Amino acid sequence: MVKWLNILILCVICVNCIPFVQPKRYQRLIRVAILTGLDSINVSGIKENQYLENYKIKINDSLPVFIKPYGNKVKVNNNFYYGHLEIKKINNKIWVINILDIEDYLKGVVPCEIGKINERLIEAAKAQAIAARTYAYAHLNNYANLGFDLYATVKDQVYEGLSTEDTLINRAILKTTGLVLTYQGKPIDAKYHSTCGGYTADFNDAWSGNSVPYLKSVECGFCDDSPYSYWKKEMDKKEFFKNLRNNLYQIGISLPDTELIKSLKFKRNSKSKRVVEVIIITNKHNHKIPAYNIRRLFGSEKDPGRLLKSSYFNTYVKDNKIIIEGRGYGHGVGMCQFGAMGMAKKGKNYKKILKHYYPGTKITRF
């Protein structure tokens, strides 16, 4: 009996010594950086078993601080969120990380990304929910060195917590709970954008690196209702070239006053119609601008983020002005959101929408 007791005790000790191993499945929790680089914040929630209302946390306080939800939510600077908060110090500034279930996270993402919808567009909302969920799963631990997965901005997906929650969109999220797009058994990098203008872009039309089969240009033809299906901007020549020089400097190319710009040459993707390379010819050098810098090259202070709306554009001279005419809004890769809404209006369900914009992928329940 004593012998067997000793064996049992030994087994218990050995089991307790085994390090925790994450099960081979995708977690449901996600960590989102909702506020970054602050000196102080106000929070409401439960701290160390005590409810605090508008509790001020300052940069010199002892951090990290963990805030649990009260009534299923927490509050930060008057904005409500599901889940918990981790308030920590990064680079001697306060960062707030919202830790919550992915399905609750989507309630604060999908309305921001696709906008207000009606019942007629519910299938587009389902497609957006699956794309956003897939993006989240594919980018878990993206910023592991900082202790979170995603930013709550256009760096990843715009997330605004409970302030944008919408009943109809919540229903679309619920109807697609756990569904993600996969390729070769893994969640895809589910890129999406506002408006493609007729053709979506190849991955390398917007970024460098290795492309994937599901992020290739496809014909859309469903986004004509977008306010960005066609656009035009005008600048006088002096303003255009001054802006061009400033933008070149921002991307690391400095032109002295003695280096005069003589002409511009454009290289296009014949299928997607995107400009994928610009050669700036001066009296001294030829400067090649790659695809990922083209929208920044031609953007101005009048453009959001100083980015040209799209790389699907043409330029021409009229009188003393440079005219830029373009189609689409955003990087153009993956699902066209206005296209998804256009397909929904024509009776297409979310499966057909996703199959169209992400060819070769499968819808899988995680």
Alpha helices in the chain (DSSP H): 2-17, 102-107, 110-114, 122-138, 167-175, 237-250, 294-298, 337-345, 350-357
Identify any residues that bridge with 205 across adjacent strands, giving them in sequence order.
Answer: none
Nearest to 363 by CA among 133, 199, 87: 133
* 27-31, 213-217, 265-269, 308-312: least confident range: 27-31
Region 316-331: mean pLDDT is 96
| Residue 277, token pair as written in the block | 């390379």
- pTM for this predicted structure: 0.90
Looking at residue 366, its pLDDT comes to 87
Three-class DSSP labels, 271-301: CCCCEEEEEEEECCCEEEEEHHHHHHHHCCC
Residue 117 has pLDDT above 50, yes or no: yes
| Residue 245, token pair as written in the block | 């020089």
Nearest to 138 by CA among 104, 182, 200, 83: 182
Looking at residue 272, its pLDDT comes to 97
Report the length, in residues, of the chain: 366
Looking at residue 27, its pLDDT comes to 55
Alpha helices in 139-205 (DSSP H): 167-175
Looking at residue 81, its pLDDT comes to 98
Region 303-309: mean pLDDT is 94
End-to-end CA distance of the chain: 47
Residue 119 has pLDDT above 60, yes or no: yes
Residue 292, classified by CB atoms within 10 Å of its CB into exposed (0-12), middle (13-18) or buried (19+), is middle
Looking at residue 2, its pLDDT comes to 39
Looking at residue 17, its pLDDT comes to 37
Identify any residues that bridge with 264 across adjacent strands, giving them in sequence order.
Answer: 280
Region 74-80: mean pLDDT is 96
Residue 4 has pLDDT above 70, yes or no: no
- CA pair distance 334, 214, nearest whole angstrom: 8
Nearest to 33 by CA among 100, 123, 132: 100
- CA pair distance 346, 182, nearest whole angstrom: 26
Contact (CB, 8 A) for 39 and 59: yes
